[in-house]
Amino acid sequence: MTRRRVVVAGLGDTGVLTAIKLARHADVVGVSAKPGLVSGQELGWRLARPDDWARHNWIPFGRFRGLDRVRALHGTLTGVDLVARNVAVRLADGSSMEIPYDVLIVATGVTNGFWRRPTLQTATEIDADLRAPHDRLAAARSVIVVGGGAAAVSSAANIATTWPGKRVDLYYPGPQALLDHHPRTWATVRRRLTDAGVGLHPGHRAVLIDGFTGDELTAEPVQWSTGQPTSSADAVLWAIGRVRPNTGWLPATLLDEQGFVRVTPELQVPGHPEVFAVGDVAATDALRSSARNRADGLLAGNVRASFTGKALRQYRPATRRWGSVLGIQPDGLEVFGPNGRAFRFPAWAFDQVLMPWIVKWGIYRGVRGE
């Protein structure tokens, strides 16, 4: 039987895992604006300790054993012809090409702040992007973090623990942060923040100028629409969740009102059974939870089933966010379940068991040494 051609558009966290799972079953081509996996996870760890973060989260594609059979192209997607079934790509060298597909998987993710951008980058540019915000935060005597999600909470905690002498304040609009998590998660994390010396300021909603996305660290005073006095710091980190789907290369007929890719419960695009979407770009549910619930395995299984006409499985979204919130800390890693209860990996287990065996071998099927 002729091997099918699968194009994975986007090789971020979810795209890489999907490509690895399909590599033995199809001719897989991946397209990425980066020359390796640059994870969008663990913002606080990335800002506070970028070298440690990069060891586990910025990995050139050639180091993944599971991608040895995958043709990874460094370029940006510029369009798709749904009738002819090919995608248009502008490569890093400036040339263009069209790639035919039997199955297209859209995993292009979202833009969110300066840490998740779809811009074409070299390895040197990625390293500079990691270093610049860290250096600016290191030089600041005071930092304001605006936002109530995991990125904001993680950033405030990691900045405070990395630079204990720095004044760090977290401002969020609701009575508590982490509203998409179980309340028990926030109760635990709030204690961690307080112990780290982070000032907590509930009920603060920032005034945002039209078009402001928070894609840069700023230094101007922050005004509040909720009536509190203006707040100032040497550096202001905006983690306000203004995500924009990276779907400008797709026709509007595939997208919902917010620009995310519409999908069925089987993660197929309605009217185009040969097109699938997964991760933050897929409109699976309000939390777009297929990015964090191992939906890559279900999707890969559905793609294989589509080759033979077998029944496809349905994705069932999680009702709450779960997982790590603060990232690895000196005393280990806390992973919160959907019920808000935490399981702790000691620091030694993170370095000697979790990352090398469970993540790099168990999940990624082997990552070569640096």
**Taking 70 as the threshold, does the pLDDT of residue 210 lie above it?**
yes
Q: What is the pLDDT of residue 241?
A: 87
Distances from the Cα of 135 to the Cαs of 138, 155, 300, 348, in angstroms? Answer: 5, 14, 40, 28
Q: Is 184 exposed, middle or buried (0-12, 13-18, 19+ CB in 10 A)?
A: middle
* Interval 86-120: pLDDT, tens: 999 999 999 999 999 999 999 999 999 899 999 99
pLDDT band at 370 (very low <50, low <70, confident <90, very high): low
Q: Which range (40-54, 200-214, 230-244, 303-317) has the least confidence?
A: 200-214
Q: What pTM, to 2 d.p., does this model score?
A: 0.95
pLDDT band at 2 (very low <50, low <70, confident <90, very high): confident
* Interval 195-206: pLDDT, tens: 999 999 999 999
Identity of residue 330: P
Q: What is the pLDDT of residue 212?
A: 85
Nearest to 218 by CA among 279, 133, 298: 133
**Taking 90 as the threshold, does the pLDDT of residue 214 lie above it?**
no
**Taking 60 as the threshold, does the pLDDT of residue 1 lie above it?**
no
Per-residue pLDDT, averaged over 260-280, amounts to 97
Per-residue pLDDT, averaged over 288-298, amounts to 90
Q: What is the pLDDT of residue 73?
A: 98
Beta-sheet strand order (sheet of 333-336): 323-324, 333-336, 342-345
**Taking 70 as the threshold, does the pLDDT of residue 362 lie above it?**
yes
Q: What is the pLDDT of residue 142?
A: 98
* Interval 219-254: pLDDT, tens: 999 999 999 999 999 999 999 988 999 999 999 999
Question: Which regions of the chain does DSSP assign to beta strands (E)?
Answer: 5-9, 27-32, 36-38, 58-60, 71-81, 86-91, 96-100, 103-106, 110-111, 142-146, 167-171, 199-201, 235-238, 244-245, 268-269, 272-277, 323-324, 333-336, 342-345
Nearest to 277 by CA among 95, 92, 71, 80: 80
* Interval 158-191: pLDDT, tens: 999 999 999 999 999 999 999 999 999 999 999 9
Cα gap 117→258, rounded to integer Å: 18
pLDDT band at 294 (very low <50, low <70, confident <90, very high): confident
Per-residue pLDDT, averaged over 278-300, amounts to 93
Q: What is the pLDDT of residue 52?
A: 94
Q: What is the pLDDT of residue 215?
A: 87
Per-residue pLDDT, averaged over 67-72, amounts to 97
Q: What is the pLDDT of residue 357?
A: 93
Cα gap 56→241, rounded to integer Å: 24
Average pLDDT, the chain: 95
Which residues lie across from 100 on neighbouring strands? 86
